[in-house]
Chains A and B, each alone.
Chain A
Amino acid sequence: MAFELNGKVYETDEEGYLVNLADWDEDAAKYIAGVENVEMTENHWEVVNFLREYYNDYQIAPAVRVLTKEIGKKLGAEKGNSKYLYELFPYGPAKQACKIAGLPKPTGCV
């Protein structure tokens, strides 16, 4: 499967995750967010960028519990909780935000 933006082809798996991490760019993120019915605000980008940094450092997408904890450390307690993250990404911060960030599905996330 794939989608195309401005002549660039983005290959995805059957669930909509990007196949190649390196393909990701902001246009792809906006496109995937649109498919997921998520309107990207500054708060969304903060989480998406955090996830990309985390992946770059550790080569995995974090579990939700780890994500909330790390976000709390970095962006403050009012953002480091699942209520806040689920408001941004109603289908799950790890699953939905990872997809928008162009990361593989988190380990252990079915």
Chain B
Amino acid sequence: MLHIVNKSPQERSTLESCLRVARPGSALLLIEDAVYAATRGNAAAEKVREAAQALKVYALAPDLEARGMKDAAMSEVTLVDYGGFVDLVAGHAVVQSWL
């Protein structure tokens, strides 16, 4: 299944809850303010790096670009554009959006 998170890891615990529940082999897509979690040196970076061993982690590139953070993206995270976003949603039978 695909988990989508859109909240900054510093402001909300949404990412943490998602990582607690997500089962190995699932995909995680970070969008909007959640893309900060995919940047080097942020407080959640270690958690994301660890999660990337069991999950496939993606971040929406336009959201990183918009925030001036694209160059800071962690190597463990795969960047996708809007087309990739659509492919991810279409490619998974179950999608949970963590509001």
A and B touch in the complex (CB under 8 A): no
Residues of B participating in the A interface, judged by any CB pair closer than 8 Å: none
